[in-house]
Amino acid sequence: MTNTLLILPGDGIGPEVMAEVTRIIDWFGARRGLKFGVSEDLVGGAAYDVHGVPLADATMARAQQVDAVLLGAVGGPKYDSLDFSVKPERGLLRLRKEMDLFANLRPAQCFDALADFSSLKRDVVSGLDIMIVRELTSGVYFGEPRGIFEENGQRVGINTQRYTESEIDRVARAAFELARKRGNKVCSMEKANVMESGILWREVVQAVHDADYPDVELSHMYADAGGMQLCRWPKQFDVIVTDNLFGDLLSDVAAMLTGSLGMLPSASLGAPRANGRPKALYEPVHGSAPDIAGQGKANPCACILSFAMALRYSFDQGDEATRLEQAVEKVLADGVRTADLMQAEGATPVSTRGMGDAILAALDASL
Q: Which residues are catalytic?
A: 141, 191, 224, 248, 252
Whether residue 330 is annotated as binding a ligand: the answer is no
DSSP bridge pairs for 242: 134, 189
In the chain the first and final C-alpha atoms are separated, in Å, by 22
Continuous segment of H or E residues that includes residue 273: none
Residue 291 counted as an annotated binding residue: yes
Q: Give the number of other Cβ atoms within 10 Å of residue 8's Cβ.
A: 29
Q: What residues pair up with 37 in beta bridges, in sequence order?
A: 4
Contacts of 347 (CB under 8 A, 6+ apart): 335, 336, 337, 341
State yes or no: 85 annotated in a binding site.
yes
Is residue 357 part of an annotated ligand binding site?
no
Residue 41 annotated as binding? no
**306 labelled as ligand-binding?**
no
Instruction: Say whether 81 counts as a known binding-site residue.
Output: yes
237 is annotated as contributing to ligand binding: no
Q: Flag whether 38 is marked binding.
A: no
Answer for the pair 101, 270: CB distance below 8 angstroms, yes or no.
Answer: yes
H helix runs in the chain, sequence order: 14-32, 45-51, 57-65, 88-98, 122-125, 165-180, 196-212, 223-232, 244-257, 301-313, 318-333, 352-365
Is 77 known to sit in a ligand binding site? Answer: yes
Binding residue positions for Mg(2+)? 224, 248, 252
Binding residue positions for NAD(+)? 76-89, 287-299
Binding residue positions? 76-89, 96, 106, 134, 224, 248, 252, 287-299
Binding residue positions for substrate? 96, 106, 134, 224
